[in-house]
């Protein structure tokens, strides 16, 4: 009886772990595996609806008439990566880089772009949403570009600023870089217009730079303030093929523990083992039911 009880408890524990592994999620910013406010699970579903393909830089040469998304890049680009992106642009494709940290500046420079992202302490505006001075309303320019179709204003969450390129979306003139973080304008904090989204024709293709990848996080996608969703739809439908960089995009990040769990969850042997343990636990409990009733 004791050995039987021990076996039952062991199977139950492993079955419970299998269930936890199956439903485990990440809490990493922008991650497609994170369903919380700062994750990208909602946008991941939109990408699936648009038949987006996750690709590595070395696979780009086979695509034409395509838009490649590089969202919140957090790893360096190798020489081979840069060459693949350059050829991708030379083939007449488009690339969108969404970055607020400045990690993409090295990539932009090596591609020969004149755009530079400037990480700022806090871009603050009187044109704000949700009563927060850091969640600001920005406005499309008169530039004739399909990504701006039916887009008048967009809400961004603590964006950075950029220089160079053709401005597509800018702040109002009632915007300043809040150097001391008190949300008030001081003598050394000048109100002016800043560019937060721009485009550059480069190597025969189009390079877009957005200074706020949080446009794609769950809280922004679900609340859908202003014309945010329309801008996203325009970006995703601007080309025949939609691609996302699976190597450098922070949206692909999970953390080491989640990486292990996802590997286990996606391995056929582990799937079969998890199902077997779960079924075994149910059968053992069912067989023990008469014993429990007789006790």
> What is the model's pLDDT at position 273?
54
> What is the model's pLDDT at position 187?
85
Task: Give the pTM.
Answer: 0.80
User: In which band, very low, low, confident or very high, does the pLDDT at 251 lie, cut at 50, 70 and 90?
Assistant: confident
| Cβ atoms of 94 and 145 closer than 8 Å | no
> What is the model's pLDDT at position 292?
43
What would the mean pLDDT of 109-128 be, rounded to a whole number?
94
> What is the model's pLDDT at position 11?
46
> What is the model's pLDDT at position 17?
46
Q: Is 1 exposed, middle or buried (0-12, 13-18, 19+ CB in 10 A)?
A: exposed
> What is the model's pLDDT at position 253?
72
For residues 20 and 208, which has the higher predicted lDDT (pLDDT)?
Answer: 208
Q: Does the pLDDT of residue 1 top 90, yes or no?
A: no
The Cα 28–Cα 251 span in angstroms is 8
For residues 86 and 187, which has the higher predicted lDDT (pLDDT)?
Answer: 86
Q: Does the pLDDT of residue 15 top 80, yes or no?
A: no
Neighbour-count burial for 140-166, b at 16+ CB within 10 Å, e otherwise: beeeebebbeebebbbbbbbbbbeebe
**Which range has the worst mean pLDDT, 3-17, 118-132, 248-262, 267-281?**
3-17
Tokens of 238: 């601007």
> What is the model's pLDDT at position 21?
43
């Amino acid at each position: 009886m004791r050995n039987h009880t021990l076996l039952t408890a062991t199977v139950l524990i492993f079955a419970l772990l299998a269930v936890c592994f199956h439903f485990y999620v990440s809490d990493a910013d922008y991650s497609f595996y994170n369903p919380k406010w700062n994750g990208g699970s909602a946008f991941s579903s939109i990408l699936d609806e648009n038949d987006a393909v996750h690709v590595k830089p070395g696979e780009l040469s086979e695509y034409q008439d395509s838009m490649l998304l590089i969202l919140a890049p957090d790893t360096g680009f190798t020489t081979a990566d840069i060459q693949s992106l350059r050829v991708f642009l030379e083939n007449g494709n488009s690339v969108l880089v969404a970055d607020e940290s400045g990690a993409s500046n090295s990539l932009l420079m090596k591609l020969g772009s004149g755009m530079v992202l400037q990480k700022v302490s806090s871009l603050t505006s009187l044109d704000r949403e949700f009563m927060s001075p850091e969640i600001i309303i920005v406005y499309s320019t008169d530039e004739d570009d399909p990504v701006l179709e039916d887009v008048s204003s967009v809400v961004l969450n603590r964006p950075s600023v950029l220089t160079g390129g053709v401005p597509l979306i800018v702040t109002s003139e009632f915007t300043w870089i809040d150097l001391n973080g008190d949300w008030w304008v001081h003598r050394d904090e000048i109100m002016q217009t800043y560019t937060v989204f721009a485009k550059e024709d480069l190597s025969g293709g189009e390079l877009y730079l957005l200074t706020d990848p949080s446009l794609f996080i769950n809280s922004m996608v679900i609340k859908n303030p202003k014309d945010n969703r329309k801008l996203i739809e325009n970006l995703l439908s601007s080309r025949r093929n939609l691609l996302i960089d699976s190597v450098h995009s922070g949206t692909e990040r999970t953390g080491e523990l989640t990486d292990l769990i996802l590997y286990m969850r996606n391995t056929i042997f582990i799937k079969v083992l998890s199902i077997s343990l779960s079924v075994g636990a149910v059968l053992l409990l069912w067989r023990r039911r008469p014993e429990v009733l007789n006790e």
